[in-house]
Structure 1
Amino acid sequence: MSHEAHEPAAPHLDFRGTTPYEDYVKADVLTHLQHTLSDDPGEMVFLVTTQVMELWFTVVVHEWETAAAALRADDVPTAIDALKRSARELEALNASWKPLGQLTPRQFNSYRGALGDGSGFQSAMYRRMEFLLGEKSSSMLVPHRGAPRVHAELEKALHEPSLYDEVVRLLARRGYGVPEAVLTRDVSLRYEADDAVERVWAEIYGDGVRQDSGLARLGEALTDVAELVWRWRNDHLVATRRAMGAKAGTGGSAGVAWLEKRARKNVFPELWTARSYV
């Protein structure tokens, strides 16, 4: 038997066309999507960070739609797995604020004009995230009327049950006392907290035997998501305060005032209030 050291195989470097990596990742497309509109060197990081956020929105929407489909099929473990993945992805999304969180007003104003009427609230993929959380609003389709495919996708999402609607329906199928009015509500409207659903969560969390059903673990996975969404909103608020104070936001939004209102809202509200009764 030979004891001679074997040289590691050299990587394959010669390809007829693009590399397999490029074919899969489309890196050349991604790295040529940056078209700055000002001479300020800080605009590039603002643009790239915003584009990265859009990619994370896309991943999170995929995870929550996967979770919703699993819940419809009574597959709680698959739903929990998707929610747990989305929590790690939300942590990465939230970290996207780091490059922007230290902007001074002068730095932001140096390229703010390049945004024109552009604003983050016009993001269609972020809107799909909000719809999946139960934050439905038909008026948020209006900015996308000029983009038929995007508008159709948002309209479909508006009229589909949210992730939390699917959770509540699962609880009803498991024999919990979810009111019929909650189960048959117009899902194109914003979800409103219900005292009976709060009592259901208090029962699930308070019963050690029932916790083994996986529903308490589902509740905790949802709570992790809700907490990270709240942190996203607060980080957005703080970054905006630092960059522009109380001025009107881009695209005609109310800026900090609107973000403050959003930051006060709980996602999956009964999961939070039920804890007072366990």
Structure 2
Amino acid sequence: MPFTLATWNINSVRLREPIVAKLLSEEAPDVLCLQECKSPVEKIPTEGFAALGYTHMIARGQKGYNGVAILSKLPIEDLGDKDFAGLGHARHVAGRLENGTVIHNFYVPAGGDVPDRKVNEKFGQKLDYLTDMRDWFKSERPEKSILVGDLNIAPREDDVWSHKQLLKVVSHTPIEVEHFGDVMEAGGWSDVTRADIPKGQLYSWWSYRARDWDAADKGRRLDHIWASADIASAAHSSRILRDARGWEKPSDHAPVFATFDL
């Protein structure tokens, strides 16, 4: 059966409840993973989502910051979360669907503005978070798993608007890309989006700072969908819903979709 999953950094699920509902009603993925919910779990507006058929949710939250949630039409078992790098942040939650597929939803730290851990603690935390992810997937190699989320790294030259100009900008520096690759290799993950869309510029984030984000088109692909080696071949279509970046009161991220035959 075809199974469609979407991931979206929503930048406050309570503030942007209307566009989450718009996505759920118009696109109707089986599962929607949200990051940066910025809400305690008990204050996530679940009633409206349930009315649209998303009667299952697992989530981790905190007031005003971070937060991850998995909304699902399908029953999903809460598999817990990991506190990578010991930050005490709500940045990961995992669940298992009835068909045995495990979904990991991640919100990797952004890393601040200066790509030097000696002068920027946040950059060090980001690298440590990725190292912990690598070590975990190396010790517990994922099976029948999908990893999604805002990983806050644009790894390829065509995942950013200008490779040359962003080499020293957090999210595209060589050390971040190296850590990103180490996590992927440790878990045997495949980049589903790029397997389906192998060529060309591809972005999922555009800064709020641009007066006209669409015309400037200075984007980065920070949001990702990966699959474990045993189900990577089951993925067969991917897309980024760029139009959502232009919806009313938008997030600065656009949703990323993938469809699998599982």
Q: Could you say whether these structures have the same fold, taking a TM-score greater than 0.5 normalized by the shorter chain as the test?
A: no
Q: Which structure has greater strand proportion?
A: 2
Which has the larger Rg?
Answer: 1
Q: Which structure has greater helix proportion?
A: 1
What is the TM-score normalised by the length of structure 1? 0.28
What is the TM-score normalised by the length of structure 2? 0.29
